[in-house]
Amino acid sequence: MEIPPQQPKKESFPKIIGILLVILVIIAGVLGYFLGYWSASNRLEDLQSQVSSLSEQFAELQRSQLNWQVLLNQTAGRNETVIFMNNTVYHNKTIYVPYILGENVSLSDLYKRVRDSVVIIRGVTLYYDVFGRRYYSSVEGSGFVYNFTGRMVIVTNYHVVADTVNVTVSFLSGNSYPAKVIGWDKYVDLAVLSVDAPSSEFKPVEVASSSTLSVGDIVVAVGNPYGLTGSMSLGIVSALGRTLNTQYGYAIANVIQTTAPLNPGNSGGPLLNLKGQVIGITTAIVADSQGLGFAVPSNTLLREINDLVTLGSYNKHPWLGASGVDMNYEISKVMGVNVTYGWLIVQVVKNGPADAAGLRGGSRQVVIAGTPVTVGGDIVIAIDGIRVTGYDALTSYLEEFTVPGQTVNLTVIRGNQKLTVPLVLGVRP
């Protein structure tokens, strides 16, 4: 029987399509894998960059070591609002900008070291009315413990204890003891007290030279504003060499100007550097100002403390025996001189040091911008070769570097001549 020939097998079209689809799926999978890997790699790099940026920001925050608690402490017990925004604190319209304190500086540790050295001083002032009847007024301020050659005393402002009776000193522990004013100098607003207290209460703070200060240095004030015991505030040295007028006829020389918030009750407290050393004694504010506080420099205390404790007073302030005003452009034009800086002598005290040196006061009075000014006197532009820009510079130099009986050389402008005038300083009367 004849077997019919077999037809060759044909591959079906659907099978071929299936194979092609499998190949396409594989290719797509490979491409998808590589595309996903590339995208993930880029995303990972972005995340690494963000982490690096955050690490840098965190490190900067650690370096700045801003202690916000210091700012919050200022509102303790008062109805005030503190708002934090963009690294700036808005505190009842007053802006506190974060300070970079540097490494190894902790404001909390600084406060712990000095808080027991700061005291509250309370007293009663006796007054008489026009009918001779007595009445009393309470006063309150701050002070700090100072070790004077082994003797513990309290340093404060003169105006805190002036004309007071029944003075007491309270330590941070709350213990209070009777105190006695043993020395004072009202011309620089300093006073020293002795306190009848156990030795365990006295924790003296170190006093450093204020000569090391520069404008921009960070300073800390600790005191008792409005009776809020042990309050701390932070600021900077905003100016040096200021003069501060007093009610006693003479200005306090070489005063420190600071932005550290000060209030009634801070008077007499310490102004500290970041080492916790006293570099000033807080003494005054400008009413209704923002960030204008003043402190007596620690150099004044160091210069006077021996006499204040041992003699009860200080009487070694140098004296020129003249009064004057700061020069400016308008005065220079009226006088016909080319110098617009310096100190114009208005009046010379008869038989005083300036009079003995031959210095001349003003000869005529003019009105400049509505203000009467006596012109025609000598213009002091330098002392011992140091430029005198005005009264602040002159008195700061005298207080810091001279003593009564010392001869100084004044450079003056008289008419159109520059003269050098030697002057022997007197003792402030």
| Residues annotated catalytic, as ranges | 159, 189, 267
Alpha helices in 9-100 (DSSP H): 13-64, 68-73
The H or E element containing residue 147 is strand 134-148
State the Cα–Cα distance between residues 181 and 171, nearest whole angstrom.
17
State the Cα–Cα distance between residues 54 and 45, nearest whole angstrom.
14
The H or E element containing residue 302 is helix 298-310
State the Cα–Cα distance between residues 173 and 398, nearest whole angstrom.
41
Q: Strand ranges (DSSP E) for 224-308? A: 231-245, 251-258, 270-272, 278-285, 293-297
337 backbone dihedrals φ, ψ, rounded to 5°: -115, 160
Alpha helices in 132-186 (DSSP H): 158-161
- DSSP-assigned states of every residue in 64-90: H---HHHHHHTTTTS---EEEETTEEE
Q: Which residue type occupies 211? A: S
Q: Which two tokens stand for residue 238?
A: 């905003």
State the Cα–Cα distance between residues 213 and 197, nearest whole angstrom.
34
Which residues, at least 6 apart from 317, have a Cβ–Cβ distance to it below 8 Å? 187, 250, 399, 404, 427, 428
Nearest to 234 by CA among 253, 217, 221: 221
Contact predicate 399/300, CB 8 Å: yes
Nearest to 298 by CA among 278, 273, 282: 278
Q: Which two tokens stand for residue 122?
A: 């309370």
Taking residue 291's Cβ as centre, other Cβ atoms within 10 Å add up to 18
Contact predicate 411/418, CB 8 Å: yes
The H or E element containing residue 167 is strand 164-170
State the Cα–Cα distance between residues 278 and 272, nearest whole angstrom.
4
